[in-house]
């Protein structure tokens, strides 16, 4: 084999890296112990490899396109704290160029574009450059919108604008639907206003893209799989997020700061928890929503921070589907099977994983949900 090409060396590093990442869930103190855990580990490897290549190897900064990173309908896009109600798309930027984003809101309950930095090639973002959400936009009668972002604001333009910094790297769209099975998602478009570069596929750039992909994958597998019962002092899910100290509980809800790890949304408030349920156990969570918000939802993840497709079962709740108690609170029942409560969700027989609440544009941080572990036969079946 000709080893003179840098791309060849980078490809061999990627193949060796896949073996290394495989070991992270098969060996050591984070080894998974169930058949589902092992199988989900390999599925996550395939998912993260595909997304890594999509965001590092194939894009052209002067010819941007939106790449699906999370959808309610693709099993190879369930990862990284996904959501059954949401579709996310990704595009990369040249910080010296200017771009236009436009589209049609359709049935979206909340949508936004968040621009992130990249501290070094393949490194996860640690800073939000800017956010535009639907509350910032003007719409015509058909629900169409448009705004700009980049290095130079177009002359005479006074609408929503994100000013790029030298470390600007990419953007992530968020589109949350009340019901993804019936709602029509946002139609997204993007263009670069500057003359495009020639398409040149060099050895050096391709090698860097492969190495960036591996670096990005390694960071993901620093977080997953999560050791749910045997949590240690080093909270790997931390990395910018607040997580519980034990199992079958949740941490304090919190707002996301501008400087944060990964692709978080700064107009969001999060609350994370964990679960480890026997077949005859359920978690009962009760909380009161904020006074004002645009959208909230809840769902359980696997040990790999992955959910399920929208049609697989009732695996999530949001403010359109959840039913309130008489005092305005929400009771959620989580079990491995589908129970009878109006707000019951199922893990689809997954034993261990994480719990996630999101609130967008909330006027206050909610109080921490109350969590109780019960037998499935003792779980509530009606509202209070």
**Can you tell me the mean pLDDT for 375-379?**
98
Would the pLDDT of 245 be above 80? no
pLDDT in tens, 76-92: 999 999 999 999 999 99
Would the pLDDT of 50 be above 80? yes
- pLDDT at site 240: 54
Helix (H) or strand (E) holding 363: none
Report whether 299 contacts 350 (CB < 8 A). no
Report whether 65 contacts 190 (CB < 8 A). yes
Task: Return the structure tokens found at 304.
Answer: 């790999």
- pLDDT at site 263: 85
Q: What is the DSSP string of 192-248?
A: ESSPPPP----HHHHHHHHHHHHHHHHHHHHH-S--SSS--SS-TTTTTS---SSSS
Which among 264, 229, 250, 11 has a CA at the least distance from the CA of 114? 264
- pLDDT at site 3: 67
Would the pLDDT of 218 be above 50? yes
Local confidence band at 2 (pLDDT 50, 70, 90 cut-offs): low
Helix (H) or strand (E) holding 43: helix 35-56
- pLDDT at site 233: 42
Q: How many CB atoms lie within 10 A of CB 74?
A: 14
Local confidence band at 229 (pLDDT 50, 70, 90 cut-offs): low
- pLDDT at site 259: 66
Report whether 102 contacts 114 (CB < 8 A). no
- pLDDT at site 236: 44
Q: Tell me the domains of the chain and their CATH numbers.
A: 6-220 (2.60.120), 229-378 (2.60.120.1600)
pLDDT in tens, 340-374: 999 999 999 999 899 999 999 999 999 999 999 99
pLDDT in tens, 55-66: 999 999 999 999
Entry pTM: 0.92
- pLDDT at site 234: 44
Report whether 250 contacts 369 (CB < 8 A). yes
Task: Return the structure tokens found at 142.
Answer: 């058909």
Report whether 345 contacts 277 (CB < 8 A). no
**Can you tell me the mean pLDDT for 220-227?**
88
Lowest mean pLDDT among 3-12, 114-123, 228-237: 228-237
What proportion of the chain, given as a percentage, has pLDDT over 90? 88
**Can you tell me the mean pLDDT for 273-287?**
96
Would the pLDDT of 1 be above 70? no
Report whether 37 contacts 25 (CB < 8 A). yes
**Can you tell me the mean pLDDT for 25-37?**
91
Would the pLDDT of 292 be above 50? yes
- pLDDT at site 358: 95
Check the CA dihedral 290-160-241-213 and report its sign: positive
Mean pLDDT of the chain: 93
Angle (CA) 297-316-266 rounded to 5° is 30
| Rounded CA separation 194/180 (Å) | 36
Would the pLDDT of 127 be above 50? yes
- pLDDT at site 33: 86
- pLDDT at site 232: 42
**Burial class of 155 by CB neighbour count within 10 A (0 to 12, 13 to 18, 19+):** exposed
- Residue indicated by tokens 């436009």: 102
| Rounded CA separation 303/224 (Å) | 7
């Amino acid at each position: 084999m000709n080893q003179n090409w840098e791309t060849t060396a980078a490809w061999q590093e990627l193949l060796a890296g896949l073996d290394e990442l495989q070991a992270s869930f098969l060996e050591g103190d984070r080894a998974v112990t169930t058949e589902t855990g092992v199988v989900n580990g390999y599925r996550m490897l395939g998912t993260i490899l595909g997304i890594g290549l999509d965001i590092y190897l194939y894009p052209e900064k002067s010819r941007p396109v939106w790449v699906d990173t999370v959808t309610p309908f693709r099993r190879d896009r369930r990862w990284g704290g996904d959501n059954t109600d949401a579709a996310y798309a990704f595009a990369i930027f040249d910080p010296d160029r200017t771009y236009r984003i436009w589209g049609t809101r359709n049935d979206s309950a909340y949508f936004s574009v968040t621009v992130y930095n990249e501290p070094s090639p393949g490194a996860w973002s640690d800073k939000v450059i800017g956010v535009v959400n639907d509350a910032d936009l003007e719409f015509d009668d058909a629900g169409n919108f448009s705004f700009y972002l980049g290095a130079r604001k177009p002359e005479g333009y006074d609408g929503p604008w994100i000013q790029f910094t030298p470390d600007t790297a990419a953007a992530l769209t968020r589109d949350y639907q009340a019901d993804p099975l019936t709602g029509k998602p946002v139609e997204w478009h993007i263009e670069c206003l500057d003359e495009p570069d020639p398409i040149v596929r060099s050895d050096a750039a391709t090698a860097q893209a492969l190495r960036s992909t591996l670096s990005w994958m390694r960071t993901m597998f620093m977080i997953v799989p999560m050791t749910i019962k045997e949590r240690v002092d080093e909270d790997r899910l931390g990395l910018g997020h607040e997580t519980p100290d034990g199992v079958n509980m949740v941490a304090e809800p919190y707002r996301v700061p501008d400087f944060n790890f990964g692709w978080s949304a700064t107009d969001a408030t999060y609350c994370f928890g964990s679960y480890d349920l026997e077949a005859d156990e359920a978690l009962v969570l009760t909380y009161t929503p904020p006074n004002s918000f645009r959208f909230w939802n809840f769902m359980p993840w696997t040990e790999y921070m992955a959910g399920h497709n929208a049609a697989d079962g009732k695996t999530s709740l949001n403010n359109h589907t959840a039913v309130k108690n008489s005092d305005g609170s929400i009771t959620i029942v989580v079990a491995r099977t589908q129970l009878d409560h109006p707000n019951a969700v199922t893990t689809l027989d997954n034993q261990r994983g994480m719990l996630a609440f999101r609130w967008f544009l909330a006027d206050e941080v909610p109080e921490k949900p109350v969590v109780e572990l019960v037998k499935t036969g003792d779980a509530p079946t009606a509202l209070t």
